[in-house]
A and B are shown apart, each in its own frame.
Chain A
Amino acid sequence: MITPQRYWREIPQRYRLEAGKCKKCGYICFPPRLICPKCKNREFETVRLNDEGKIASFTIIRVPPEQFSDLSPYAIGIIELNDGVKILAQIVDCDFEELEIGKRVKVEFRKIRSEGEAGIICYGYKAVLLE
């Protein structure tokens, strides 16, 4: 179960795709980090990820975790965004037969799941096909 504080602190990344761009080497960390894994620099500027990219790989989840059982089956992909950052997200609003590695997608703000009857409604990013 996600507690409010744990949910709340991830909001900038999940709602606004905020990332940390290394001021020295330009590497983009998503989520933001305190030290650059490439050059060890510790200074970053906050940037918004490019919200378009392509499918690097995908699968259809047919045996889901309990919290996702009402959505099953659903597609999950690794998306390589135009700025080179890769993220994992559901790919929605499509027939599974349409999915292919290399297809263009756009990342949108969507509901991810509800935590039971009275828990947190979890939001974040999901991908939709552009072609």
Chain B
Amino acid sequence: MREVAIIGVGMNKWGELWDKSLREIFIEAALSAIDDAGIDRIDSMYIGSMSSGLFTEQEHIASLLADYLGVAPIPSARVESACASGGLALRQGFIDIASGISDVVLVGGVEKMTDVTTGGATFALGTAADQEYECYHGVTFPGLYALIAKAHMHKYGTTREQLAMVAVKNHKNGSKNPLAQYPFEITIDDVLKSPLVADPLRLLDCSPITDGAAAIILCTVELAKKLKKDPIIKIIGSGHATDTIALHSRDDITWLSATEKAAKKAYEMAKKTPEDIDFAEVHDCFTIAEICVTEALGFFEKGKGGEAVEKGLTALNGKIPINPSGGLKSKGHPVGATGVAQVVEIVKQFREEAGERQIKNARIALTQNMGGTGGSALVHIFEKE
């Protein structure tokens, strides 16, 4: 297997971008990544997008975007794994280079979510759950994560305030990220007084609906060295796993088994352990999700994720900073772009371009991206040489 490096990243301001189309927001991010990498050649493209069809009535976007980027006829593929589509695109790009098929790959993610009503967006997102045995009964995504939250609180004593602390922490980080959709701080009280969406989850426990894209350029480490990139940023571990998409079919609804298994594979490939990770960008689509994810990644014991947030272990200056970018909660969650934007943050941190949210001396970092209630999960580990 050939070693893979990241030599360019691109991401523009996220939010409700009513004046921009799917193709515009994607091409802006892709051009930023190409300019950042300073290359004039791309061998292939992988694009994560959960549901361009339901959100914009446009399928076949891999070719559309290759055309608009001016790189057709290169191979271009769209991959889908619900909210983990971006992470999956990253893995496909990694495999493409590691296998020797391509030398330079553009990995992107995009979701244009505000061309439909909130009801339309809720419906599109709902298709990541089991249509016949979950959605049929009127459950929503906040509802499914609320079921996880309720069970986690009952089993481990996780508190309502601890859930709020995840949102407060991520907004604090996001307030230092000018590209975030909601770059401002909130308080525990703000969270606890926001409207109930699905008990016990409130509006400020939920990530928002966002238009956005992100792109990165991968190449062989050999080529990155030839181009005199400094620092050399490598992908040293990649793990991917699946689980039932119906939450109720799992033995333990508080445990993210696919994330645990994807992490195990990534740790093995990278020859690292959870203790080696300096910081991580993880999938906090709801506050409870971040708590469960940090447990499944092995950062904290089962059931201790809530306590970890309360002790400040996951804060920017904590033992293991989680979501320095602001996470999905503050930065926004254009579903297909999220898994790629996580890598943009890793690269900015490694290059020490993260401004006020800069983590000092970080060398090893991890991203975790998941689909639905955890029916798919991607974990990647990165090293700064």
**Overall SS of chain A's interface:** strand
**In chain A, what residue has the closest Cβ to B155?**
A101
Which residues of A (68-108) have their CB < 8 Å from a CB of B? 68, 71, 74, 76-78, 86-90, 96, 101
* B68 beta carbon closer than 8 Å to chain A: no
Q: Which of B134, B150, B201 has the most CB of A within 10 A?
A: B150
Q: Cβ of A65 and Cβ of B150 under 8 Å apart?
A: no
Asked if A61 CB lies within 8 Å of chain B CBs, one says yes
* Pairwise interchain contact A59-B199, C-beta atoms closer than 8 A: yes
- 1/0 per residue A50-78: CB within 8 Å of B? 00000011111111111110010010111
A10 contacts chain B at the CB level, 8 A cutoff:
yes
**A31 interfacial contact with B, CB 8 Å:** yes
**Stretch of B13-21, B139-147, B320-328 that contacts chain A:** B139-147
Task: Select one of B122, B138, B139 contacting A113, CB under 8 A.
Answer: B138
B228 is an interface residue with CB less than 8 A from chain A = no
Contact A60 B248 (CB under 8 A): no
> By the criterion CB–CB under 8 Å, are B150 and A59 in contact?
yes
Does B64 interact with chain A (Cβ within 8 Å)?
no
B154:A57 contact, CB within 8 angstroms: yes
* Cβ contacts under 8 Å, B249 to chain A: 86
- The verdict on B151 contacting chain A, using a C-beta distance below 8 Å, is yes
Q: Is B255 an interface residue (CB 8 A)?
A: no
- Is A89 a contact of B151 with CB atoms below 8 Å? no
A124 part of interface (Cβ distance < 8 Å):
yes
B248 touches A88 (CB 8 A): yes
* Number of A interface residues in the complex (CB < 8 A): 32
Enumerate B181-203 residues with CB–CB distance to A below 8 Å: 195-201
Please report the C-alpha to C-alpha distance between residue A62 and residue B142 in the assembled complex, in whole angstroms. 10
| Chain A nearest CB, measured from B10 CB (Å) | 34
B151: nearest chain-A partner, CB-CB? A57
Q: How far is the CA of A38 from the CA of B196 in the complex (A)?
A: 38
Q: Which residues of B contact A (CB under 8 A)?
A: 119, 122-123, 126, 132-140, 142-143, 146-148, 150-151, 154, 195-201, 246-249, 253
A residues contacting B by CB (< 8 A) are 10, 14, 31, 56-68, 71, 74, 76-78, 86-90, 96, 101, 112-113, 122, 124
Interchain residue pairs with CB less than 8 A apart (20)? A56-B253, A57-B151, A57-B253, A59-B198, A60-B196, A61-B143, A62-B198, A63-B140, A65-B122, A65-B140, A67-B138, A74-B138, A76-B143, A76-B147, A78-B247, A89-B137, A90-B138, A96-B199, A101-B150, A112-B137
